[in-house]
Chain A
Amino acid sequence: MHIPDGYLGPLTSGVMYLAMLPIWAIGSAKVKRDFPTKRVPLLAISAAFSFVIMMFNVPIPGGTTGHAVGSVLAGILLGPWASSIVISVVLIIQALLFGDGGITTMGANCFNMAFVEVFVGYYIYKLISGSSPITSLRRAIAGGIGGYIGLNIASLTAAIQFGIQPILHKTPDGKFLYCPYGLNVAIPAMMLEHLLIFGWLEGIVTFLVIRYLQKREPDILEIRKEIG
């Protein structure tokens, strides 16, 4: 889901950067408010986890690869606003150092994975967990469902960004300038693999880490409660 340079035209790229500006501004304000120096290690470790989990590419035999993102987990641990900053940092470093995702498409990639996925996943988690205790199985399952749906909605927004390119940018001779695949190709291609495989991966990873933290390190989960 890391859209490389060239797949999105300047209009989509520009709009997505603009969309991220207020999110980054609010995110920074929340980090400032809720993450004094003693809580900063939790930001760093959530980022590191998201980064490393994205290195585990999972194949569809003979087809494509994909991976979990860890955005929803970050949302559950840090709250959605701080997570949008943390996951954005991960995506920016991935693009700059490793060429994973583009520079021009960075706004779009951050929008999909550091905003859409984080917020969708987090609010589904919140809705399902209700007021259940911090160590309840229900909360871990809520996290898993949040992960599954969050990643799927993010892949939908990515597919839409891909798919509108042929509508926006066409040469007079009928060739396309950027992503050549329209919505009718991009949406089924992206959605199918995420609904069937990668969404489950994100859900299971989110569930397992929360379950582990509930059993072994519940204080980590309490921090989110203290922040409110």
Chain B
Amino acid sequence: MRTITKLWIGIIFLVLISPLGLIIPQYFKAGDAWGEWGIETLEELVGYLPKGLERLANIWSAPLPDYAFKGWEDKPLGYLSLAYVFSGLFGIMVISLVIIFIAKLLNKNESK
């Protein structure tokens, strides 16, 4: 499994440089992905806020919205980069644990 260790190191490296994915779009003044606008932006674009969309838009409040800590929206880019790396590490940990858990569950009756 040495190979797997090496690949994990590569992935951690990618997480550490991931703030590039935050900084570069901001530098080029690129906005949200198509169809992923927040409700304020959409209202500006369309002229009104679609009723059903308004009702569903905030159905879920994520603990780390946009890969940052709650209430950090206006923090400087340095802070946001830090939160981005934290989110990356935390996300990878949770995803790996969930996958290991699912696999364990499915392989419950596996004879070693």
Q: Which of A99-107, A119-127, A140-148 contacts B (4 or more CB under 8 A)?
A: A99-107
B82 to chain A, nearest CB (A): 14
B63 to chain A, nearest CB (A): 6
A90 to chain B, nearest CB (A): 6
Report whether B103 and A178 are in contact in the complex, using a CB–CB cutoff of 8 Å. no
Chain A residues with CB under 8 Å of B98's CB are 89, 93
In this assembly, does A158 line the interface, its C-beta being within 8 Å of a C-beta of chain B? Answer: yes
Chain B residues with CB under 8 Å of A94's CB are 91
In this assembly, does A53 line the interface, its C-beta being within 8 Å of a C-beta of chain B? Answer: yes
Report whether A52 and B51 are in contact in the complex, using a CB–CB cutoff of 8 Å. no
CA distance A169 to B35 in the complex (A): 17
Report whether A180 and B67 are in contact in the complex, using a CB–CB cutoff of 8 Å. no
CA distance A158 to B33 in the complex (A): 13
For A60, the closest partner residue in chain B by CB is B30
Question: Which of A28, A32, A62, A66 interacts with B28 by CB under 8 Å?
Answer: A62
Report whether A45 and B8 are in contact in the complex, using a CB–CB cutoff of 8 Å. yes
In this assembly, does A51 line the interface, its C-beta being within 8 Å of a C-beta of chain B? Answer: yes
Q: Which secondary structure characterizes the binding site on chain B?
A: helix
Report whether A98 and B66 are in contact in the complex, using a CB–CB cutoff of 8 Å. yes
Please report which residues of chain B, range 51-98, place their CB below 8 angstroms from some CB of chain A when the two chains form the complex: 51-67, 84, 87-88, 90-92, 94-96, 98
Please report which residues of chain A, range 48-70, place their CB below 8 angstroms from some CB of chain B when the two chains form the complex: 48-49, 51-53, 55-67
In this assembly, does A85 line the interface, its C-beta being within 8 Å of a C-beta of chain B? Answer: yes
Chain B residues with CB under 8 Å of A2's CB are 33, 36
Report whether A6 and B21 are in contact in the complex, using a CB–CB cutoff of 8 Å. no
For B97, the closest partner residue in chain A by CB is A44
Total chain A interface residues with beta-carbon distance under 8 A: 72
In this assembly, does A118 line the interface, its C-beta being within 8 Å of a C-beta of chain B? Answer: no
In this assembly, does A189 line the interface, its C-beta being within 8 Å of a C-beta of chain B? Answer: yes
Report whether B57 and A45 are in contact in the complex, using a CB–CB cutoff of 8 Å. no
Report whether A61 and B59 are in contact in the complex, using a CB–CB cutoff of 8 Å. no
Report whether B100 and A49 are in contact in the complex, using a CB–CB cutoff of 8 Å. no
Report whether A45 and B31 are in contact in the complex, using a CB–CB cutoff of 8 Å. no
CA distance A98 to B60 in the complex (A): 10
Report whether A93 and B91 are in contact in the complex, using a CB–CB cutoff of 8 Å. yes
Question: Which of A98, A104, A162, A219 interacts with B62 by CB under 8 Å?
Answer: A98
For A66, the closest partner residue in chain B by CB is B33
Chain B residues with CB under 8 Å of A176's CB are 50
Take A58-B24, A177-B52 as given contacts and tell me if A100 and B66 are in contact as well, using a CB distance cutoff of 8 Å. yes
A109 to chain B, nearest CB (A): 11
In this assembly, does A14 line the interface, its C-beta being within 8 Å of a C-beta of chain B? Answer: no
CA distance A86 to B106 in the complex (A): 14
Report whether A57 and B22 are in contact in the complex, using a CB–CB cutoff of 8 Å. yes
Chain A residues with CB under 8 Å of B60's CB are 5, 95-96, 99, 102-103
Residues of A within 8 A of B (CB): 1-7, 9, 28, 31-32, 35-37, 40-45, 47-49, 51-53, 55-67, 85-86, 89-90, 93-100, 102-104, 158, 162, 169, 171, 175-181, 186, 189-190, 193, 217, 219-220
Q: Can you give 17 A-B contacts (C-beta < 8 A)? A: A5-B59, A6-B54, A7-B53, A28-B102, A37-B107, A44-B99, A52-B88, A55-B15, A55-B84, A56-B20, A57-B24, A58-B25, A64-B31, A64-B34, A93-B98, A98-B91, A176-B50
Q: Which 7 residue pairs spanning A and B have beta carbons closest together?
A: A59-B30, A99-B62, A177-B52, A6-B53, A56-B21, A6-B56, A59-B25
